[in-house]
């Protein structure tokens, strides 16, 4: 039976509610719009350190993609499973001659198009933003959307997709992306290089909606065993690592809130958090 991916969508809404208290572009405005007629109130008074550790993770994960996109002279960008991220709106508002295609499941895209009308973003000259429904595992649909781009290399980016896919599904996605990049040139930037670590839990509580989704989708077992295994996986799929972006937490707004609730003793004696994630820029061998 074909797997139903629509149950992943609630995580996108919850992440937006969290990211509304970060400086991620348009996150606060989009969260306010989605909450109407209720008022959006970011949980800035939360005293749970795990809450802010998770917030830091998602704020920095977003930033790592921006860092790996920097200095790439590529004007065709395809984002997979973008959720309620508005990176495309931000980039087309800053850069000229950029074609950005933002994709996700139909329900997300329908809602996102409504939000886009109210966010008042304006594209620069000769730049274009498209929001299109797409199942990233549908190779034919994937290629049809890629054909909308102008000639030249393409940057494919994703943030929060591979962790929901099994081994066979990951390989299927890799083959599609590999074939496209081999034909056109460019890079795949994936923020989904997660490794297994039972100590690294970002759930605020057992009843947390995101934690329930992680358990239901068996996300932990779908992560890579370690970073070497992740490298082996992408190497076997025909990719090599061009550049990596690890965590850089010191400039994050979320860190300020975390430091407010930690005592000096906790700061001195707390062990360094385990490294569970990297963002990789991949190219075809």
Here the CATH number for the domain that contains residue 161 is 3.40.50.150
> Residue 206 pLDDT more than 60?
no
Q: Looking at the domain assignment, is residue 36 inside a domain?
A: yes
Q: Looking at the domain assignment, is residue 186 inside a domain?
A: yes
Lowest mean pLDDT among 13-22, 67-76, 141-150: 13-22
> Residue 61 pLDDT more than 80?
yes
Percentage of the chain modeled with pLDDT above 90: 56
**Residue 203: per-residue pLDDT:** 45
- SS3 of residue 279 by DSSP: strand
**Residue 1: per-residue pLDDT:** 42
In which domain, by residue range, is 159 found? Answer: 6-284
pLDDT band at 218 (very low <50, low <70, confident <90, very high): confident
Q: Looking at the domain assignment, is residue 125 inside a domain?
A: yes
Q: Looking at the domain assignment, is residue 81 inside a domain?
A: yes
Average pLDDT over residues 198-208: 50
Outline where DSSP puts E strands in 98-161. 99-104, 128-133, 154-158
Spatial separation of the C-alpha atoms in residues 21 and 32, rounded to whole Å: 11
**What's phi and psi for 27, nearest 5 deg?**
-65, -45
Q: Looking at the domain assignment, is residue 1 inside a domain?
A: no
Q: Looking at the domain assignment, is residue 222 inside a domain?
A: yes
> Residue 78 pLDDT more than 80?
yes
Average pLDDT, the chain: 87
**Residue 204: per-residue pLDDT:** 45
Peptide bond into 37 cis (omega under 30): yes
The domain total for the chain is 1
Average pLDDT over residues 244-263: 81
Spatial separation of the C-alpha atoms in residues 278 and 245, rounded to whole Å: 6
Asked whether the whole model's pTM tops 0.75, one would answer yes
Q: Looking at the domain assignment, is residue 40 inside a domain?
A: yes
> Residue 267 pLDDT more than 70?
no
Spatial separation of the C-alpha atoms in residues 88 and 82, rounded to whole Å: 9
Average pLDDT over residues 64-81: 96
């Amino acid at each position: 039976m074909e797997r139903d991916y629509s149950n992943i969508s609630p995580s996108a809404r919850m992440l937006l509610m969290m990211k509304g208290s970060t400086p991620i572009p348009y996150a606060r405005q989009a969260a306010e719009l989605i909450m109407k007629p209720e008022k959006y109130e970011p949980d800035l008074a939360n005293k749970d350190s795990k809450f802010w550790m998770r917030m830091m993770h998602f704020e920095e994960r977003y930033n790592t993609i921006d860092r790996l996109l920097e200095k790439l002279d590529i004007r065709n960008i395809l984002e997979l499973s973008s959720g309620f991220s508005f990176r495309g709106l931000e980039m087309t508002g800053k850069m000229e001659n950029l074609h950005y295609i933002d994709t996700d499941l139909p329900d997300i895209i329908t809602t996102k198009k409504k939000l886009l009308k109210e966010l008042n973003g304006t594209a620069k000259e000769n730049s274009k933003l498209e929001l299109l429904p797409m199942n990233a595992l549908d190779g034919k649909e994937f290629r049809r959307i890629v054909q909308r781009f102008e000639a030249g290399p393409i940057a494919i980016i994703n943030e929060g997709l591979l962790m929901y896919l099994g081994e066979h599904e990951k390989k299927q996605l890799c083959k599609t992306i590999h074939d496209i990049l081999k034909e056109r040139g460019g890079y795949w930037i994936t923020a989904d290089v997660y490794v297994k670590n039972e100590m690294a839990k970002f759930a605020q509580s057992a009843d947390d909606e995101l934690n329930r989704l992680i358990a239901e989708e068996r996300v932990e077992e779908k992560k890579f065993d370690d970073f070497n295994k992740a490298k082996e996986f992408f190497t076997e799929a025909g990719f090599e690592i061009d550049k990596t972006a690890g965590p850089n937490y010191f400039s994050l707004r979320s860190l300020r809130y975390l430091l407010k609730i930690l005592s000096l003793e906790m700061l001195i004696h707390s062990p360094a958090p385990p490294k569970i994630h990297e963002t990789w820029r991949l190219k075809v061998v």
